Amino acid sequence: MTLVTAADVGAAAERIAPYVLRTPLVRVPGERLWIKPENRQPTRSFKVRGALNAVAELAGRGVEHVIAQSSGNHAQAIAYAAGRFGLRATVVLPDTAPDLKVAAARALGAQVVIVPPALREDACLALADRLGAAVIRSDDAAVIAGHGSIGAELSRDLPARAAEGPGTILVPVCNGGLLSGVAVAAGPGITVIGVEPELAADGQASFRAGRRLAWPVADTYRTIADGLRAPVLGELAWEHIRRHVDDMITVSEEQIAAAAEFLRSKLGEHAEPSGAVTTAAYFAHHEALPEGPVAAILTGGNV
C-alpha cells in the first residue's frame, strides 16, 4: 500500500492554493488554545481541500464525472470542486443528512441521491458503475494529501505561538482522512491527537487495539456530530494513523454542545458539532495534553 508523503502534501497545497483560504490561528483569550477556523473555507468546511486536489488530478486525466458518498460536507466539497474544473458530480447522502447540507450540494450543481445510512457505500459503487463515474472516497490518497495542507500550515504557524514546546494539534476523526493528512504533514515534535465523540469512538477503539474495528451504524449515528458518524476508519487512513498519530481521545455530547456554544459566543465562530469536538477536547483534557500551544481544527460551520 502506497502512503501519502510530505512531498505529496506540498504538491497538493500548491495545486489547491488558488481556490482555498489559508486560515489563520485565532487565540482563545486566557488559554493556550488556538482555533484554526476551516469553517471559513468555501463550502464552510475543510473538506474542500481534499476534494479540490482529487478532482484536479482526475480532471487532468480526462475524467468527466465524479461521484462520492458523504454525510454532507464531503458532498458539498466534491460538488464545488467539480464545478471549478467543469466536471459532472453525483453525491450519495444518507436520509439523516441535515437539509442544509443536502440543499447546498444541489445548489452547487451535484445530482443528489438519498439512501438509508447503511447503504451509502453500496449505492455509491453501484451508481459509479452504471454512470461510468470516478469514485472519490474521503480517504483517497489525493484527498488525504489535500487535507494535509492544514497540517503543513500548522507546522509553520503553531511553534511560533509559544516557547514552551512545538505544540499539539487536535483533529476531528470521521474515517480518518483529515487526521492522516495532518499527521503526515505535522512538523518535528508536534503531537497529533485524533478526537471523536464517545458515541462514535470506533477510531479510538481501533487505535487502542492496534487494528481496525467497526462499530454498528446504529451506534455511531447516536452522536449529534453528524460528520463523524463513520462506523470504521478507512483502510488507507488507518495505515497512516497507526504510523503517525500519537493518541486518540473522546468527548461527550454535552461537552460538544458546550464547545459549539463557546465558539459562537466568545469568538463569533459558527461550528457544527463535528467541528467543535476539538475545542471540547481541549477543555476536557487540557491538563493531560503536552506543554506548549494547542491548535484545535474547527472543521466546519454548516449548522
pLDDT tens digits, one per residue of 210-269: 999 999 999 999 999 999 999 999 999 999 999 999 999 999 999 999 999 999 999 999
- Has residue 149 been placed in a domain? yes
Contact 121, 69 (CB under 8 A): yes
Q: What is the CATH number of the domain that holds 57?
A: 3.40.50.1100
In this structure, the answer to whether residues 71 and 175 fall within a common structural domain is: no
SS (H, E, C) 234-270: CHHHHHHHHHHCCEEEEECHHHHHHHHHHHHHHHCCC
DSSP per-residue codes, 171-236: EE-SSSHHHHHHHHHPPTT-EEEEEEEGGG-HHHHHHHHTS--PPPHHHHTTSS-GGG--SS--HH
* Crossing angle (nearest 10°) for helices 47-60 and 141-157: 130
In this structure, the answer to whether residues 200 and 96 fall within a common structural domain is: no
Domain limits at 256? 6-42+144-298
135, 161, 186 - which closes a domain: 135
CA–CA distance from 45 to each of 39, 179, 303 (Å)?
5, 15, 11
Within 34-176, where are the H helices? 47-60, 73-85, 99-107, 120-131, 141-157
In this structure, the answer to whether residues 35 and 153 fall within a common structural domain is: yes
User: What 3-state DSSP class applies to 125?
Assistant: helix
- Has residue 303 been placed in a domain? no
- Has residue 1 been placed in a domain? no
81, 109, 135 - which closes a domain: 135
Among 165, 157, 207, 173, CA closest to 190: 165
pLDDT higher than threshold 80 for residue 160:
no
In this structure, the answer to whether residues 33 and 158 fall within a common structural domain is: yes
In this structure, the answer to whether residues 89 and 209 fall within a common structural domain is: no
The rounded mean pLDDT for the chain is 95
Query: What does pTM read for this prediction?
Result: 0.95
In this structure, the answer to whether residues 234 and 282 fall within a common structural domain is: yes
Instruction: Give the chain's domain count.
Output: 2
135, 159, 188 - which closes a domain: 135
pLDDT of residue 165: 65
pLDDT of residue 158: 86
Contact 255, 284 (CB under 8 A): yes
pLDDT of residue 164: 61
In this structure, the answer to whether residues 177 and 257 fall within a common structural domain is: yes
- What gap in Å lies between CA 256 and CA 46, rounded to an integer? 19
Structure confidence by residue, pLDDT tens digits, 5-34: 999 999 999 999 999 999 999 999 999 999
pLDDT-derived band of residue 162, with 50, 70 and 90 as boundaries? low
- Has residue 283 been placed in a domain? yes
**Quick count: other Cβ atoms within 10 Å of Cβ 157?**
18
In this structure, the answer to whether residues 63 and 121 fall within a common structural domain is: yes
pLDDT higher than threshold 90 for residue 166:
no
pLDDT higher than threshold 70 for residue 302:
yes
In this structure, the answer to whether residues 81 and 63 fall within a common structural domain is: yes
Among 285, 277, 271, 269, CA closest to 253: 277
In this structure, the answer to whether residues 127 and 197 fall within a common structural domain is: no
